[in-house]
């Protein structure tokens, strides 16, 4: 029996057709679908610049490279997130400062605001951490599970303090704010620079792939160079800086382009699954569906459950996996991960509890009622 996975890609005839077309034309590495997918994303997100690249992780590395980080720089990060932004920051010897999560599992921007106001000072246009005397160069806001971060609480403060806002919208493509200052804006289009991921488990996929998105002309231009070994002259192969090979290929871009056309349908279907879990757990004594912020229209990428009391979630997870239902915990908070234990933390109380008490459940687009009912049985 096949594993029931958390979030599987949904590939159909249109992706097969477009890939076949490109293969027949021999357009593997380079082809016009790279720039087409970029312009489709620009139009969808209403953003000025998109640089496609080979993964969300590589988009983050490119972003960190452009910040010109060194050992005297620090970046405010959520502790509860996938490790990619932390690793990207560490590649350039900058230090993360880890923050707690809010009720939606996103970085607690109220605590970030409090930290900036109380624990840093502003001198010569830079924000300095009073404790370490290092510069706080950026904050990374990861919109986990598709939930939009409460960016409004820190946006103005970051602008005043010259702190760059990086959004990691890898999991939240299609999530839109519905109220407040950023009403009608998609996650990833508000900060200074953001990343997307088209990994196979995301709301749309390119097999593997990512994007750097921004309204900043300089970041846009530089990112295109960095992902191609900073080649400024394609004839003489002149490299004006150190860079990477983080290019996406035309086959991946073709798949992504075809998937983007269906994003509204995917989101609609994911919302149906979310509602089925909500209904199915209405009178459940152990679990509830973790809430979502009302200030945003969620892409419903992944449904996450929380336990009502301290129960052995690992035992439940093991029994689901034994029955070929692939569930998992959120990430072990980064401040507890071996390579990052030495870095500063600020008032982290909730993230460990979320790790202990939460379960991510299958949210694959075509999940059947019978499959959801089977999962629910293990949770009762
Ligand atoms: C929040 C977050 N950031 C970054 C990434 C990295 O993306 P990729 O797998 O495309 O490298 C992922 C996903 O895997 C993610 O969930």
Q: What is the DSSP string of 272-288?
A: HHHHHHHHHTTT-SSEE
Helix then strand then coil, in percent of the chain rounded to 5, is: 35, 20, 40
User: Would you say residue 182 has pLDDT above 90?
Assistant: yes
pLDDT at 164: 98
pLDDT at 57: 99
- In a shared domain, residues 282 and 234: no
User: Is 8 inside any structural domain?
Assistant: no
- In a shared domain, residues 226 and 329: no
User: Is 6 inside any structural domain?
Assistant: no
pLDDT at 311: 86
- In a shared domain, residues 256 and 272: no
In the chain, how many domains are there?
A: 2
pLDDT band at 309 (very low <50, low <70, confident <90, very high): confident
pLDDT at 312: 86
Which has the closest alpha carbon to 378: 320, 305, 325? Answer: 320
The residue from 260, 276, 308 where one domain ends is: 260
User: Would you say residue 3 has pLDDT above 90?
Assistant: no
The residue from 210, 234, 260 where one domain ends is: 260
210 lines ligand 1 (CB under 6 A): yes
CATH code of the domain covering residue 279:
3.90.1150.10
Mean pLDDT of 176-184: 98
- Other residues' Cβ atoms within 10 Å of the Cβ of residue 153: 16
- In a shared domain, residues 174 and 269: no
Residue-wise pLDDT for 187-225, tens only, equals 999 999 999 999 999 999 999 999 999 999 999 999 999
- In a shared domain, residues 142 and 240: yes
55 lines ligand 1 (CB under 6 A): yes
What distance in angstroms lies between residue 374's CA and the mean position of ligand 1's atoms? 29
User: Would you say residue 1 has pLDDT above 80?
Assistant: no
- In a shared domain, residues 200 and 270: no
205 lines ligand 1 (CB under 6 A): no
What distance in angstroms lies between residue 207's CA and the mean position of ligand 1's atoms? 13
pLDDT at 2: 79
286 near 308, Cβ under 8 Å? yes
- From its phi and psi, is residue 324 left (phi > 0), alpha (psi between -120 and 50) or beta? left
| Percentage of residues of the chain with pLDDT beyond 70 | 100
Cα–Cα distance, 249 to 30 (Å, whole number): 6
199 lines ligand 1 (CB under 6 A): yes
What distance in angstroms lies between residue 366's CA and the mean position of ligand 1's atoms? 22
User: Would you say residue 159 has pLDDT above 90?
Assistant: yes
pLDDT band at 336 (very low <50, low <70, confident <90, very high): very high
- In a shared domain, residues 150 and 291: no
Mean pLDDT of 118-139: 98
Cα–Cα distance, 298 to 6 (Å, whole number): 17
Choose the residue to mutate in 6, 53, 57 for probing ligand 1, maximizing ligand atoms within 8 Å of C-beta.
57
User: Is 116 inside any structural domain?
Assistant: yes
| Percentage of residues of the chain with pLDDT beyond 90 | 98
CATH code of the domain covering residue 109:
3.40.640.10
Choose the residue to mutate in 7, 58, 84 for probing ligand 1, maximizing ligand atoms within 8 Å of C-beta.
84
pLDDT band at 310 (very low <50, low <70, confident <90, very high): confident
- In a shared domain, residues 120 and 162: yes
The residue from 236, 260, 284 where one domain ends is: 260
- In a shared domain, residues 221 and 325: no
Give the distance, in angstroms, between the CA of residue 171 and the centroid of all CA atoms in the same chain: 4
User: Is 366 inside any structural domain?
Assistant: yes
- In a shared domain, residues 309 and 248: no
- In a shared domain, residues 54 and 180: yes
Q: Residue 315 belongs to what domain range?
A: 263-379
- In a shared domain, residues 195 and 86: yes
pLDDT at 75: 99
């Amino acid at each position: 029996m096949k594993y029931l996975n958390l979030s599987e890609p949904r590939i159909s005839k249109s992706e097969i057709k477009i890939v076949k077309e490109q293969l027949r034309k021999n357009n593997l590495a380079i082809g016009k679908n790279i720039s087409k997918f970029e312009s489709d994303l620009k139009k969808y997100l209403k953003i000025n610049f998109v640089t496609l690249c080979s993964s969300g992780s590589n988009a983050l590395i490119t972003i960190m490279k452009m910040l010109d980080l060194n050992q005297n720089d620090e970046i405010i990060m959520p502790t509860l997130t996938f490790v990619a932004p932390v690793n990207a920051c560490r590649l350039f010897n900058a230090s993360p400062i880890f923050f707690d999560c809010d009720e939606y599992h996103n970085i607690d921007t109220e605590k970030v605001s409090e930290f900036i106001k109380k624990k840093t000072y502003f001198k010569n246009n830079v924000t300095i951490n009073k404790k370490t005397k290092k510069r706080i160069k950026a904050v990374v806001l990861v919109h986990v599970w598709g939930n939009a971060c409460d960016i409004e609480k820190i946006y103005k403060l970051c602008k005043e303090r010259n702190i760059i806002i990086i959004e990691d919208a890898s999991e939240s493509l299609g999530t839109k704010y519905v109220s407040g200052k950023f009403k009608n804006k998609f996650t990833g289009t508000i900060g200074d620079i953001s990343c997307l991921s088209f990994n196979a488990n995301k709301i749309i996929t390119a097999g593997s792939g990512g994007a750097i998105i921004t309204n900043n002309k300089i970041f846009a231009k530089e990112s295109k160079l960095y992902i191609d070994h900073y080649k400024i002259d394609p004839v003489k192969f002149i490299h004006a800086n150190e860079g990477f090979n983080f290019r996406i290929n035309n086959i991946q871009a073709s798949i992504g382009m075809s998937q983007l056309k269906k994003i509204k349908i995917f989101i609609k279907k994911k919302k149906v699954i979310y509602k089925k879990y909500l209904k199915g757990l209405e009178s459940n004594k152990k679990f509830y569906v973790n809430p979502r912020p009302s200030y945003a229209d969620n892409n419903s990428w992944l449904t996450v459950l929380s336990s009502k009391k301290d129960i052995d979630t690992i035992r439940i997870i093991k029994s689901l996996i034994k029955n070929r239902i692939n569930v998992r915990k959120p990430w072990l908070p980064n401040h507890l991960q071996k390579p990052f234990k030495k870095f500063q933390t600020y008032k982290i109380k909730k993230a460990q509890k979320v790790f202990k008490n939460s379960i991510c459940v299958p949210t694959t687009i075509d999940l059947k009622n019978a499959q959801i009912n089977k999962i629910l049985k293990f949770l009762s």
